[in-house]
Structures are given as structure tokens and as C-alpha cells.
Amino acid sequence: MERIWADGNLLRGRAGDFKSEVGGFRLFAGDPDQPAAQLVASAEGVAFTPSYRGMAYALFEDMQLGDYGNRIPSLTFEVVADEGLVEVADIGAELSGGLLNGAGDDAVGGYAASGPSVADAMEPLINAYGMRVRPSADGLTLDSTVAAVSEIGSHSLAKRVNGENVVPMTSVKQAAALVPHSLSIRHYDVGRDYQAGLQRASRPGAGRQQAQIDLPAVISAHQAKRLAVARTAMLWKGRTSLEVICGWRELARAPGGVISVNDVPGLWAIEALQWEKMAVKLSLRQISAGTSISVDASSGSVVRQADAPHGPTRILLADLPNLGDSAATVPAVVAAAAGASTGWRWASLSVEEGDEIVGIGQTAAPAVLGTSLSVPAAVGAVLFDDVTALDVELLAPDMVLAGASDDALLRGANLCLLGQELLQFGRAVRLGPRQYRLSRLLRGRRGTEWAIAMHGIGEDFLLMRRTR
């Protein structure tokens, strides 16, 4: 198992990192000797905790549901099984223990089989690909080919049965309004990171009926569109049925086969065979010829979340002076955190209370953190410093420093912490991907003049940004 989505949003990346807060995660693969989950057993009791042997399941611990409206979200799991494409015939053989084989090269990227029987599990594939099931020597065969095996000649038609005259062929054409006017195929779209995709095909003519096939298979939008077009054409063609009464020699035929009929255009699939009154009655339905279908399809606009690993966290704890205009009543301790990876989002904070570790929440938005590359000269804290410059290297390339006007500086803009000194900068010049040179400085802000001369290379740098 690789990625997990919750309500369509990426919850777990390929590297196993979670994008939202999850206290713990464990995947049970459904082994025959699978033990019960200790976490569940400790809460529900061992006697009330099944092991679910033979059934795979995922267990989330302390999952933060605030991002999903305080409810359990709809989860989608990316499960990697066979490498590359898998043929529909192989899926049938796997599910049936080799009793259901296939003819044809139809293949999908993956398939989620479910249902109480093999027939239920295979029905979406059979329906979407227009397959027929016919008997074979060692079981059943799925067949999507449309080439006629043989022809029913005029000599095979029965005109008299048990001494009575019969009509050897009866054709019925269903009303156009009863045939679906449009057909949709819902599938797992490769172009949408396996989220649900929908492709629709329509036919010309009368009718209002709509049909939909829920196909739990991994296919592209182009493949789904092609299937929808082909299936729509097949349904339209299949509104014509034919009943043929033949002699006993046609008993060798079987449902699922494709034949042609003398003097009747088109190809016909055998839907049923009956032995009745010493004659063979074949129920046939017309099928489309296997022509190549060219279609254009798109997965639509897809907003993908960057699957970047969270990476390590850099955290800075600072005991700050009073930053407000009124007297402080409690100490101002700042916990600033960030990461060099683009996937970094937040860090969990906790405090030690006696023998326990107590969580106190998450950090704020990623802070602008860095390290000093130079030592600013010790100057006064009264005037603007246009002589000294400070070079810093930020933690990540997407962190940005920008200059500010003198009026903005006097209103508190660009306040930053260098070591233990608070200072401000009016100009910021980018020297490299993560390097900046800061100048037009105001030093020793908020009573930190005592730290002006206490600097060294490699000190922590933090841009102060008030979040509330």
C-alpha cells in the first residue's frame, strides 16, 4: 500500500508520511494467523475484538478529524499488486481458481473485485467490455472477439417441426426510445491519481434513458471514453434480435458464440439455445463489428497536491521581551518551526508535566528560519544603521525576505530575532537561492541593546510575524 486519500485530499504520501495529524497507523494484511489489534482490544476487550483473519484493514489512531468536519472521511487506498497492466482474462482466472479463462487482449491497470460470487465480482468488467461467457472444455471462457465462427446456412433452417409448419426466422427490433440514449462509465482515473472519473457517450436519435456502469478498474479517461462509445454502439446494434429454428445438428453450438446467418446481414451472438419439439431454437442478438474507435477524452482539470515528504523539523524556542504596548503579565515564549522540504506543514508540540508528556497543539504556519553568515558590527540602537550589513541563509528556497520603508519600520515591520537581539531591516538583497543581505538596520529593539555585541556566525535567525 502506498498513498491514501481522505475525501479526495492526500492523507498519506508514497514515503509513508501523513499530511494531516495521525497519532499512529497500522496495516493488517489479512494473514491466516493475523492477531487482533492490541489497540482495539485494550479499548473493547479481548473477547470483543475479532482478528479479521483473511481480511485486510487499516487502523488509524488519534486521527485528526477537524479537517473533515469532525466525521470519518471517505478513504481511498492505493494498493500496488501486479506490475504493469493485467488482462481481464487473468483477473477472471484468479478469481475463479482457473475455471474462468479468457480470449482477447483487454487489460486494465488494476481492478477492485468485490461481491458474494465470482459472477458479481466480474460483472462490471463483462458489462463494460461487452464480453460474452461461453462454455469451454475446462470451464468457462470470457470472449470479447466479434469474428463469426461459422454460418447457419439455409439448409440448417427448420421449416417443419413434428409435422407442423414453422417460421424458421423471426426478427424483432426494439423501439429506439427503450435503448439508452447516453451511457456513462465511472472508473478509477489514472490522470486523477485514481480518484473517480466519469466518461459519457451519447447516440443520435430519440430517447431519454440513461445508463451507467460502475467499473472499479484503473483505466485512463481515453480508455473509458472508448468503452462508453463502443458499449453505446453495441446497445444500439443489439436492439435487433433474431430467433432461429434449426435442425438437431445445431445442438453443437453454445451460448456466447458468434455466428452469421445466411442471407441476413451482420454478426449475431448466441444468447440462448433450447431443444424444443425435436428442434433447436437459437436466440440471437446482433452485435457490432470490431472496428477501431477513435475518441478524444480528458480527465478534466486536476488540482494535485504535492506529494513531498514532510522531512525533518527545525524548531527554535525563544524567550522574547514584551512585544506589545501594554505591560506583559506572562512570559512570551515563541516556538517557531519549519522544514527544508516543500512537504513540511507543521509540528506537534508537547510539554513534560511530571512523568507525562502532554500535547499542547500544533505550531503555527511555517516560520521563516535561517542562520547568520556574518557578524554585524556592534553599533548604537538609536539611529538607522546604513553601514552594517547582515548576511543570512534561510532554511528553504521558498522562504522570502523583502524590504520595507522607514515608516513601515517605525510601525514594527521586518522585526527579526538574531541570537538574542531583536532588530529590523529596511533593505533585503537576494544573493543566492537561500541567501540574503540585510541592511538599513535598526538594532537592539524592545530593550535588547545588551545583546548587540554578543553575536557570532551560525546564530539562529527568525523573522517575527504576528499571527493573531
Which residues in the chain show pLDDT less than 70?
103, 148, 290-292, 466-468
Q: For the segment 359-391, what is each residue's pLDDT rounded down to a tens digit? A: 888 888 899 999 999 999 999 888 999 989 999
Q: Could you say which DSSP state residue 295 is in?
A: -
In a 13 Å sphere around the CA of 260, the CA atoms on its Cβ side amount to 13
3-class DSSP state for residue 126?
A: helix
CA distances from 202 to 179, 183, 190, 197 (A): 11, 6, 23, 17
CA distance 242 to 258: 13
Q: What is the DSSP string of 403-459?
A: ---HHHHHTTTTEEEETTEEEEEEEEEE-SSSEEEEEEEE-SGGG-GGGTT---TT-
Break the chain into its structural domains and give their ranges. Answer: 4-77, 86-143, 150-287, 308-468
Could you tell me the pTM of the whole model?
0.71
CA-closest candidate to residue 170, choices 239, 241, 238, 236: 241
Distance, first Cα to last Cα, the chain? 40
Q: What is the pLDDT of residue 205?
A: 84
